[in-house]
Structure 1
Amino acid sequence: MERLDPSTLASTILTAPGWVRVGITAPVQRIREQAAHELARAICETVHPAIADDRSQLPLPL
């Protein structure tokens, strides 16, 4: 497991959408939970970025 760099983590938090940073302190539990999930998603995306789709591949319907 790789160790998180505090400056990278801080940068990810600061560049998260504004509603996430405000929503984390909201008085409504549902909004806090949604904001926490979005912040966690942003952190995970920074740590393990998604592999970009190859545009030369044709999408196949399932």
Structure 2
Amino acid sequence: MTHPDSLWLAQSLLHAPAWARVALTAPNERLREQAAVELAQSVIVAIENPPTIPDIRQMTLPL
């Protein structure tokens, strides 16, 4: 994946830990910085492990 789209990035942020999403608005600067680092790491992990898109031409076989 060379250029992630906005929906994929939004899903990556929503799958980040809830404490990090909430802590971005915390009055404590140190907590906000830790939350930003955690969100950045979540996005990096998502970029390194892109979702697999099945080929629609491939026939699915029942197990």
TM-score, scaled to structure 1: 0.72
1:23 has 2:26 as partner: no
Flag structure 1 segments of 5+ consecutive residues without an equivalent.
50-62
User: Which position in structure 2 is the counterpart of 1:5?
Assistant: 5
Greater relative contact order, per chain length (Cα 8 Å cut-off, separation 6+): 2
- Note the alpha carbon deviations across 1:34-53, whole angstroms, 9 max, x for none: 0000000000000013xxxx
Distance 2:33 2:25 in 1: 10
Letter in 1 for 2:4: L
Question: Cα offset for 1:5?
Answer: 1.3
Flag structure 2 segments of 5+ consecutive residues without an equivalent.
50-63
TM-score, scaled to structure 2: 0.71
Of all paired residues, the percent bearing the same amino acid is 45
Distance 2:19 2:12 in 1: 14
Distance 1:23 1:2 in 2: 30
Aligned residues: 49
Over the residues paired in the alignment, what is the CA RMSD in angstroms? 1.4
